[in-house]
Amino acid sequence: MSKKWMAIASALMAALIIGGCGSDNDKASSDEKPKASEEKKDTEKKKADEDMKKDEDTKKDEKKEEAEETSAESGANEFPDLISYMEKETQAKANVLFEADEPQVQEYDDVSVSLDAYTLVELKGISADHKIPFNDETDGGVILAQYTVKNSSDEDVYYMPSLYMNFTGASKSYNDYRYLLPEDKKLTAMLSPSDDYVLKAGETKTGYYTYPMGKADLEKAMDASTAAIDVQAPHTKKGDLGSTMGDKGRFTVNLSEKGAEKTKADAKFYPDRVTKENMGDKKMLDEKQGIGKTEKLEKVNVTLDGYQITEFTPNSDEAPRFENFKNGIILVTVKYELDNKGSDDLSLSSTRSKLTVNDGSQYTLAENMLLDYGNDDIVKAGEKGELIQIYVLDKEQYDKILKDKGMEAEVGPLANTEYADVSAGKNVTFKLK
């Protein structure tokens, strides 16, 4: 072959090699594009989620600021005048034991119920005309609370003030005693059966509640140091209990500096019933938050948010509930997020779960009596919601064996509000440690 043809052949072969390499590079580039695209989508989704959370946090801050403004504008400074009125009405001498003015708000779409401020007043020398709500005692106390109910929607709603209060050791549930306040200051007079409890579109009502108790119960309340007030949800239809706008809420009332410190300390714990109802003292032993592990359970995405392992000491009222645990009590509280992509509402009170310990050789079921879920606690179809589960372990066994062994939490099957299984009998499992 001539040198000329040899040169041409060499050039052609080089072109083929370069072309082949180019083809491989193009394929590699093509393979990488979807990956880059997916990464971009993940980044965009993460940013969108972060922006949404920021928006939600901003809205919550705005709601709190509104409540604080409402509290300031609507008359937290009326407490001295109302206490003087109570003194004259009961012919007793009043002494303020504790007061707080940081608002707490329960939101129901465009309707909110807020506890703006409250004060705990001791009364001595109560007249015979007012002894009955004080357990027939001449000395006692009153929690005087200011509430605001605000309807920011363009539709009328219906709200019956039924704000019952309880505390550890209480002899009963406490509700408003209306004869200790002027008529025009009572929340129960502003939202009353004579007006069908209507709160008109754009309307705000601010009024007061009194919770009287005798001396013996006042001492129990002070010993408990905190009380809880149940908050009922508004209704969209007159007299229709099925038209509630959400689940009941709860306000925490501190009755002393000790109570305020405990409430602040308890804020780090997940809101199981033990914490919310002040059943005793928790001590954090182990926790992990922000896990974010997701498993699909039919049409529901179950995400493990975190867990807390605490040593628990029940108070004297709750101790009988735990009498079988002679060697101490360990609570394992697990927090999930349920993303309900199905067509059925999920019942939180009907959720089944268990905790497997000791590297899979033992298990215990969730203790529903320590959860604060009722029939109305649901995750609606197409929405997300929080699920708390709690398990009880023997402290001696935990200390000697379980704390150094594997631990897994299982969720499912899930049920709808008719108690029907919506996860085909299946469950999902998450490794905790």
Q: What is the pLDDT of residue 247?
A: 79
Q: Is residue 64 part of a domain?
A: no
* Total domains in the fold of the chain: 2
Q: How confident is the model at residue 16 (pLDDT cuts 50, 70, 90)?
A: very low
Q: How confident is the model at residue 18 (pLDDT cuts 50, 70, 90)?
A: very low
Q: How confident is the model at residue 19 (pLDDT cuts 50, 70, 90)?
A: very low
Same domain, 272 and 193: no
Q: Is residue 417 part of a domain?
A: yes
Same domain, 280 and 417: yes
Same domain, 293 and 396: yes
Same domain, 309 and 202: no
Q: Is residue 245 part of a domain?
A: yes
82, 144 Cβ separation under 8 angstroms? yes
Q: How confident is the model at residue 3 (pLDDT cuts 50, 70, 90)?
A: very low
Same domain, 343 and 360: yes
Q: What is the pLDDT of residue 65?
A: 53
Over 90: is that where the pLDDT of 17 sits?
no
Rounded to an integer, the average pLDDT of 249-265 is 93
Q: Count other C-beta atoms under 10 Å from residue 304's C-beta.
A: 22
Q: What is the pLDDT of residue 21?
A: 39
CA distances from 327 to 280, 281, 341, 354 (A): 16, 16, 44, 22
Q: How confident is the model at residue 56 (pLDDT cuts 50, 70, 90)?
A: low
Rounded to an integer, the average pLDDT of 207-216 is 96
Q: What is the pLDDT of residue 57?
A: 52
Q: Is residue 11 part of a domain?
A: no
Same domain, 293 and 161: no
Same domain, 375 and 297: yes
Q: What is the pLDDT of residue 43?
A: 53
Q: What is the pLDDT of residue 9?
A: 37
Same domain, 350 and 223: no
For the chain, give the percent of residues with pLDDT over 90. 72
Over 70: is that where the pLDDT of 29 sits?
no
Angle of CA points 104, 109, 112, to nearest 5°: 30
Q: How confident is the model at residue 322 (pLDDT cuts 50, 70, 90)?
A: very high
Q: What is the pLDDT of residue 372?
A: 84
Q: Domain boundary at 260, 280, 313, which? A: 260
pLDDT, tens digit (0-9, with 9 covering 90-100), for 298-310: 999 999 999 999 9
Same domain, 143 and 249: yes
Q: Domain boundary at 239, 260, 281, which? A: 260
pLDDT, tens digit (0-9, with 9 covering 90-100), for 410-425: 999 999 999 999 999 9
Decide which of 49 and 125 is more confident.
Answer: 125
Q: What is the pLDDT of residue 104?
A: 96
Same domain, 77 and 121: yes
Q: Is residue 180 part of a domain?
A: yes
Q: Is residue 47 part of a domain?
A: no
pLDDT, tens digit (0-9, with 9 covering 90-100), for 100-138: 999 999 999 899 999 999 999 999 999 998 999 999 999
Rounded to an integer, the average pLDDT of 163-184 is 92
pLDDT, tens digit (0-9, with 9 covering 90-100), for 348-405: 999 999 999 999 999 999 999 999 888 878 999 999 999 999 999 999 999 999 999 9
Can you give the residue range of the structural domain that contains 370? 268-431
Q: What is the pLDDT of residue 50?
A: 57
- The rounded mean pLDDT for the chain is 85
Q: What is the pLDDT of residue 108?
A: 92
Over 90: is that where the pLDDT of 13 sits?
no
Decide which of 129 and 59 is more confident.
Answer: 129
Q: Domain boundary at 219, 244, 260, which? A: 260
Q: Is residue 14 part of a domain?
A: no
Same domain, 101 and 143: yes
Over 80: is that where the pLDDT of 64 sits?
no
CATH of residue 367: 2.60.40.4170
Same domain, 200 and 340: no
Q: Count other C-beta atoms under 10 Å from residue 254's C-beta.
A: 21
Q: Is residue 7 part of a domain?
A: no
